[in-house]
Structures are given as structure tokens and as C-alpha cells.
Amino acid sequence: MSSGESSTAYDVEFRSVTKRFGDLTAVNAVSLQVRKGEFLSLLGPSGCGKTTSLRMIAGFEQPDEGEILIGGREAVGVPPYRRDVNTVFQQYALFPHMSILDNVAYGLKQKRIGRSERYSRAREALELVQLTGRDKHRPSMLSGGQQQRVALARALVNRPRVLLLDEPLGALDLKLRKEMQLELTRIQQQVGITFVYVTHDQGEALSMSDRIAVMSQGIIEQLDTPAEIYDRPVTAFVADFIGEMNFLDGVVRAARGGEFDLDLGNGVILQAHGSPRQGEKARVGIRPARLHISSGSAFGAVNTAKAVVDSLMYLGDEVQVVAMIEGGTAMTVRQQRTGHDGSPEAIRPGDAITIRWEPSAPVLLAGSTNLASDPDDPDDPAQDARAALPQR
Ligand code: ATP
């Protein structure tokens, strides 16, 4: 914690929180600090522990170990209804026999807030989610997206410190989902309430969040801004989960002043930024869009690999080329279509090409819990790499 920052700078804090279900550790010694007013996403594949983490914030589950603080106060043992949080689920569960206005005002009625105040606050909340004029409708008269807006208004009307959202857009079709993603970020900025958002959709997390916690097997692999997570994933798991990535393994031949040479063992020498130790095995990742291709074979230069085109796919404005470099590693390259000579569309399967990249394109990766990394294998290229990551 930096000086001058008290623990109440965080709306939610996990201190080494563990949750087990029988033999299964769903959340494993997780520490997490959610800042006031931020939009933080918990992102990861099914079963990684996102929902369990959210449910522990809500108070629906209790941790086996560790502390949870909400607004700087110990929350373990505090029942859900006494926590200053509200949850929006994928299943909106509105009361079908009540009007929209009564659905939204319901929580305030439970809190014994007077009729005129509860209706005026409920109308305000409906205005926030752009459902003005629908007060008297029943939920069945609204579309799925509109019903989810009502659920959101119902959760916001209590003005909680933290809003917890568990895959709230999961039941909507793609177009509506995109619309609601924009809506949710607008609403979050307008109300300034801290959002903790659970999703397995990386595009959703990247486009909406201030920060993303990427989870795998009960731990947080990386917690950072969307740009950092995308450009500088620290583990192979994160790199692979967030968009496409080419992985290359090699041995560090030289390391000096924050740069290193990686010998891929097939005549290719990769020069990149980072400080691994000389002689150790290392793994790097390069995004398909950071690779460039040209026809014909080049030789000898660093950050250059000879390859043979395996397949081509047109993706609207881009072409995706899969090519095999020497040693049999497939690399995926994505390039803009230009229509000019030398444009990737002129390339055919079987052609000899050269793939090149800038020294800033490869990202040095640390060990991963999931991706071809074995903590008991001393020859695993991912071992010890975490310590060698570029300092930020
Ligand atoms: P999903 O996106 O599928 O909901 P998730 O990342 O949210 O996945 P969790 O629901 O947190 O994952 O589950 C983490 C692990 O804990 C899973 O293996 C799940 O089967 C297990 N689990 C969750 N709740 C319980 C429970 N009540 N009893 C037993 N096991 C549970």
C-alpha cells in the first residue's frame, strides 16, 4: 500500500482468501484490492473461481481462510443483506405480477422508505437505465435487454457501495450484448459506483473494464489495465486467453541491459526486451498482428524466420496466414489487405515467405498454471521466467 493510502481507499479487499468445496480449492489464497469507483472484471474460463469470489463479496459464501473487507470493514460473518453491496445476476428474476416501478422500488419498501421517496428514487433509477415511460408495464411486456435494465435499476436504487454483476449479459444476443456493454460503462461512469463484473468473455472485459483480474484455477494470474493485459501478458495462460498469440520457445544466448537474444534452435535468433538469465530456457509470445510477411526467403537477419505458407483466410479487411517455420512451428500472421503488389492476398499455400517482427513485439512470458507448463519439470521453459520479466 502506498503511503497516505488507507485501506478504505479500497471498496473491496481480499487478503489471502481461500474457499474450498470438499477437496476442491475453488479460490486459492487470493489477494485483491478493488479501488473506489473502478470497473473491475474477474475474467477467466469456466470453473476458475470467478463466481465463488463474487459470492464471497456478496456474502452468499464464506471463505475458509483469509479476510474480506468491504469499505475497509471486515465483512466475514456479516450477512448479505447487511453488506453495502448488491448483485445483478444473469437471470434477472423480476416479480412478474408487479409493475416495473414496483419491481425497482421493492428493495426500498423492504427498507421501510416512505412511498413518495421510494417512487421518486425508483423513477430516477429507471431514467438512469433509459426506461422512462415504462413504469406501469409488467416485466413480460419488455424485451430481455429491457428486463436486464430493470434488474440493474433495481440493484442501483439502493445506492450500494459496490455493484456485483455475474455474467449479466450472458442471456442476450450478440447485438444487444454490445449495446448493453456500452450502456453499462455509461451508467457506471454516471453513478460512480464500484462495479465488480464477472465474465468469461475477454472482448467484454477488455472493452468495459478499468482493470481486469485474469483468473485460472483459483488464482489471479494477472491484474492490470486492459492494454497492459493485452500488450504485456505476464504468463502464457493470460497471453493465450486474451486473444491469439504465437508461442516460441528457445534458449537465452545473450542478455544485456534489458535486452536478450533467444535461440529458437532452428537457425532463428529472436532479439527482444526483458532480462532472462543467459543459458536458461525461455518462452515468448507474439501477437499475429505484430508479425509482417514478405514473399521469398531472407536469410541471416535477426527477428526474421523463413517459412512456408500453410493456409490463408480472408477476414474482411485482413488476411490471416498460417505458415510453418523451420522446426515445424506454426505461426499465425494477421495483415491488412492493401490490394498492392506484395500484399498478403497475393500469397498462396506452399509459397516460401519471410516472417519478421520488431524487437518490441515478443513478450517474455513467465510460468503458467495451464499452458504446457509443469512446475515439477526442471526443463520446462517457463520455469524461473517470472523473475526475468521486464520491469514496469
Ligand atoms: P463459471 O463461469 O462456469 O460459473 P466460475 O469461474 O465462476 O465458472 P466458480 O463457479 O467460482 O467458477 O467455481 C469454481 C469451482 O468451484 C468449480 O470447479 C465449481 O464446480 C466449484 N464449485 C462452485 N460452487 C460449488 C458448490 N456450491 N459446491 C461444490 N463445488 C462448487
Q: What is the pLDDT of residues 287-318, one digit of tens each?
A: 999 999 988 766 667 999 999 999 999 888 88
Q: Calculate mean pLDDT across residues 369-380.
A: 39
For 277-302, give one letter per residue: b (16+ CB within 10 A) or e.
eeeebbbbbbbbbbbebeeeeeeeee
For the ranges 89-93, 145-149, 178-182, 358-362, which has the lowest average pLDDT?
89-93
**Ligand 1: residues whose CB is within 6 Å?**
21, 24, 26, 44, 46-52, 200
C-alpha cell recorded at residue 109: 419498501
Residues 56 and 92 in one domain: yes
Last residue of a domain, one of 231, 262, 293: 231
> Do 281 and 217 share a structural domain?
no
Lowest mean pLDDT segment, chosen from 33-42, 126-135, 250-259, 340-349: 340-349
Residue 18 has pLDDT above 90, yes or no: yes
What is the pLDDT at residue 298?
A: 63
Structural domain includes residue 177: yes
Rg (CA), the chain: 25
Q: Which CATH number belongs to the domain containing residue 177 in this structure?
A: 3.40.50.300
Residue among 41, 50, 53, 166 to mutate when testing ligand 1 (max atoms within 8 A of CB): 50
Is residue 27, in this structure, part of any structural domain at all?
yes
Nearest residue (by CA) to ligand 1, atom 24, is 52
Q: How far apart are CA 136 and CA 166, in angstroms?
A: 28
Q: Whose CA is nearest to atom 1 of ligand 1?
A: 46
Three-class DSSP labels, 344-359? HHHCCCCCEEEEEECC
Shared domain for 225 and 268, answered yes or no, is no
What is the CA(17)–ligand 1 centre distance, in A?
A: 15
Q: What separation in Å is there between the alpha carbon of 198 and the centre of ligand 1? A: 13
Place of cell 515445424: 328
Side chain identity, residue 172: L
Whether the pLDDT of residue 389 is over 90: the answer is no
Q: Specify the pLDDT at position 310.
A: 95
Q: How confident is the model at residue 367, as a pLDDT?
A: 56
What distance in angstroms lies between residue 274's CA and the mean position of ligand 1's atoms? 36
- Do 257 and 216 lie in one domain? The reply is no
pLDDT surpasses 60 at 372: no
Assign 376 a pLDDT band (cuts: 50, 70, 90). Answer: very low
Please count the structural domains in the chain: 2
Of 200, 231, 262, which residue constitutes the final position of a domain?
A: 231
Using the 8-state DSSP alphabet, how is residue 7 labeled? G
Residue 148 has pLDDT above 80, yes or no: yes
pLDDT of residue 328: 84
What's the order of all strands across the beta sheet hosting 65-70? 24-35, 10-21, 65-70, 73-74
In this prediction, residues 26-48 reach a mean pLDDT of 96
Phi, psi of 47 (to 5 degrees): 85, 5
Distance 309 CA to ligand 1 centre (A): 42
pLDDT in tens, 102-144: 999 998 998 899 999 999 999 999 999 998 888 899 999 998 8
pLDDT band with cut points at 50, 70 and 90 for residue 339: low
For residue 306, what is the domain's CATH number?
2.40.50.140
Ligand 1 atom nearest the C-alpha of 61 is: 27
Pick the residue whose CA is nearest to atom 10 on ligand 1: 51
Find the domain containing 283 and state its range: 247-363
Q: Is 79 within the bounds of a domain? A: yes
Q: Same domain for 217 and 336?
A: no
Please report the atom of ligand 1 found closest to the CA of residue 200. Answer: 2
